[in-house]
């Protein structure tokens, strides 16, 4: 069964710093990988979707990469802002299901 891991579970950084969030998965036979943001008590907001044939996607200050062979994805956030504080989740779509990590809670300190 696919397992998705996000380490660390929590991360605090000062405003303006560039940072990387990690997502690893055990089965490389995936269709796509999606990064989400979740604010407390809210639903998930889609940030980036990477198809299995792609290596990266960019949206504004966000860049997500995918390395299927090593079972890894990273979400790079440039010039972090306090408004980026949230929990970030990755999800991997396989043949039989969609698997979520438990997320990384990011705090950007002004």
Partner 1 sequence: DGGITQSPKYLFRKEGQNVTLSCEQNLNHDAMYWYRQDPGQGLRLIYYSQIVNDFQKGDIAEGYSVSREKKESFPLTVTSAQKNPTAFYLCASSIGYRGQGELFFGEGSRLTVL
Chain positions contacting partner 1, by CB under 8 A = 4, 31-32, 34, 36, 41-46, 49, 89, 91, 93-94, 97-103
Tallying the residues shown for the chain, one arrives at 110
- Smallest separation, CB 102 to partner 1 (Å): 5
Residue holding tokens 């710093």?
A: 17
Residue 92 or 108: the one with the smaller Cβ distance to partner 1 is 92
- Smallest separation, CB 2 to partner 1 (Å): 11
Report CA Rg, the chain. 13
- Show the CA angle centred on residue 31, arms to residues 50 and 59, nearest 5°: 10
- Smallest separation, CB 24 to partner 1 (Å): 14
Residue 80 or 101: the one with the smaller Cβ distance to partner 1 is 101
What's phi and psi for 89, nearest 5 deg?
-120, 145
């Amino acid at each position: 069964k696919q397992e998705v891991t996000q380490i660390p579970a929590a991360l605090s950084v000062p405003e303006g710093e560039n940072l990387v969030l990690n997502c690893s998965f055990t089965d490389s036979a995936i269709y796509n990988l999606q990064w989400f943001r979740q604010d407390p008590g809210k639903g998930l907001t889609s940030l980036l979707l990477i198809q299995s044939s792609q290596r990266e996607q960019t949206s504004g200050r966000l860049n997500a990469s995918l390395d299927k062979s090593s079972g890894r994805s990273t979400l790079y956030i440039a010039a972090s802002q306090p408004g980026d504080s949230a929990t970030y989740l990755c999800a991997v779509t396989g043949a039989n299901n969609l698997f979520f990590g438990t997320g990384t809670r990011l705090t950007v300190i002004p």
